Copies of this chain bind each other. A is one copy, B any other.
Amino acid sequence: MAISTAQFLDFFGVAVFAVAGALTAIQKRFDIFGVIVVALITALGGGTLRDVSLDAHPVIWIANTSYLITGIGAAVVTFLVARWIDIPQRTLAVCDAIGLAFFAVAGMQKAVALGHSGEIALLMGVMTGVAGGILRDVLCNDVPLIFHREIYATAVIAGGVVFLILRSWGWLAQWYALAAMLVILVLRLSAIFLGLSLPQWMFSRSKGSRL
């Protein structure tokens, strides 16, 4: 049974996002059920919101239950393994960047395939990539991580703009998709290894400077 590169990346993305969700839930000391729920919502929440918004039924994990099984499997393995092994933050962040790049581009391709405009496709790319992480943090009662100071959604937006420009130039689907993924990946890796971040409103400082 051969699976395509796209399918491999798809399941890889689900697994990596599920691991990230499971680790957050484990740190919160959730039980095995809580860990699985948080992992599944992290991995599949973005795609679900996208499909429901676009009225693109059946939603991904109903159309193909392998996504659920991949996510549950990743969560259970993480739950068992986390006792013995510390997963290095950087390794996880790099895997997450690959998952993000693929999810975002897959989200855009789905919107475009359904005949939506470039703006909606871009929004769906961002939603597919980041909504799962936001839902994870809401469920864990944290302020969503990606609202703070790191280039994450911005990388998706930049990749999405490249996607739309190359597409308007008549590039073939596999090439503009690949280019967009590379842009997202390079920006995310730069943020991880060089510590880049977005401007943030320096509230206290500006208050201070007025005095």
Contact = CB atoms under 8 A, between A and B. Distances in A.
A191 to B, nearest CB: 12
B33 A153 contact: yes
Given A83-B206, A141-B142, A68 B30 contact: no
Contact of A62 (B54, B62, B142): B54
Given A54-B62, A116-B62, A143-B141, A197 B31 contact: yes
A80 to B, nearest CB: 9
6 shortest A-B CB distances, which residue pairs? A34-B147, A55-B57, A30-B147, A31-B198, A33-B153, A141-B143
A57 B33 CA distance: 29
A128 B53 CA distance: 16
A16 interface: no
A26 interface: yes
Interface string A27-55: 11111111101100000000010001111
Contact of A148 (B30, B120, B202): B30
Contact-size category for A: 35 or more
A205 B51 CA distance: 42
A90 interface: no
A173 interface: no
A163 to B, nearest CB: 17
Contacts of A82: 201
A195 interface: no
Nearest to A84: B206
Given A30-B148, A34-B146, A199-B32, A139 B139 contact: no
